[in-house]
Amino acid sequence: MAKYGFLGLGIMGSAMAANLIRAGFEVVVWNRTSSKCTPLVALGARQGQSPRQVAASCDITFAMVADPAASSHLCFGADGVLAGIGEGRGYVDMSTVDDGTSRRIMEAVTQRGGRFLEAPVSGTKKPAEDGTLIILTAGDQSLYEASSEAFDIMGKRHFYFGEVGQAARMKLVVNMIMGSMMAAFSEGMALGRKGGLDGRQILEVLDAGALANPVFRGKGPMLLQGEFPTSFPLKHMQKDLRLAVGLGEDLEQPTACTAAVNEIFKRARAEGYAEEDFSAVFKTIE
């Protein structure tokens, strides 16, 4: 049985690593704030001393951090993954980053004799806890196959898109659509309620027709209650919208709707909602 490393124990990473431990795998965990390792050690994990030490001691090391800067530092920083990766060892970065960041990490890892796979996920806190994430991968196919047993524990579906960068692009497409949906949903709810409609009836009508979907079904009650417990932080959604707009510029593909939505989310961050769920954009729109 493979020995897994897991780096980054935030909202998503802690749940994903916990599922691997509960499934009986040997897992070594590390987080910049070491206290976040404690609950996982109690479940049976071992605590690593650094990304370098984890990568050097595990067959496959998974990472789940916030953004391109954090992903790059985890790989290239002092005592980073790159310093510990060895011949044949695998590194699977499950963070949501731009395709350029993924390619730079891939090139560095393969130059050291390691194997690299990008594997961003579609899903938030509860799917991470339930092991029902959608895992989007690209890169070394042998590492994809070797990681499939772990992917089956962390997610309900996993896809392989070929060369590194394609999974990163797929994830940005997913989140640019989801962010735009959330903004349109918030505007519709705000308009309807201001026009005297009952919010619960709005949700019931939406759920009865062609617009029925899990996002509106899950987030609608939060909009009515005005409480936004964090499943996917608003600051991360804004980061993904920014990266999607940047990808559009690189590919000369207009992204006018996404650019406008990104500005709304930027305003929401400025108003202090960065750490709340991305559905808290409703407070800015309302």
Going by pLDDT thresholds of 50, 70 and 90, the confidence category of residue 2 is confident
Q: 12 and 66 in one domain?
A: yes
Check pLDDT > 90 for residue 240: yes
Q: Say yes or no: 18 and 90 in one domain.
A: yes
**What is the CATH number for 27?**
3.40.50.720
Same domain? For 14 and 115 the reply is yes
* Token pair in block for residue 9: 């124990």
Mean pLDDT for all residues in the chain = 97
Residues 75 and 100 placed together within one structural domain of the fold: yes
Percent above pLDDT 70 for the chain = 100
Q: Which residues contact 214 (CB under 8 A, 6 or more apart)?
A: none
Q: Is 47 exposed, middle or buried (0-12, 13-18, 19+ CB in 10 A)?
A: middle
Structural domain containing residue 276? 169-285
* Residues 131 and 22 placed together within one structural domain of the fold: yes
Domain boundary among 163, 178, 211: 163
Same domain, residue pair 12 and 149: yes
pLDDT per residue as tens digits for the range 168-208: 999 999 999 999 999 999 999 999 999 999 999 999 999 99
Of 133, 163, 193, the last residue of a domain is 163
224: domain CATH number is: 1.10.1040.10
Q: What is the pLDDT of residue 86?
A: 87
Question: Buried b vs exposed e over 64-101: b needs ≥16 C-beta within 10 Å?
Answer: bbbbbebbbebbeeeebbbbbbeeebbbbbbbbbbbeb
Q: How confident is the model at residue 124 (pLDDT cuts 50, 70, 90)?
A: very high
The tally of domains found in the chain comes to 2
Give the residue numbers annotated as catalytic, written as ranges: 171
Domain-ending residue, one of 144, 163, 182: 163
Q: What is the pLDDT of residues 74-111, one digit of tens each?
A: 999 999 999 999 889 999 999 999 999 999 999 999 99
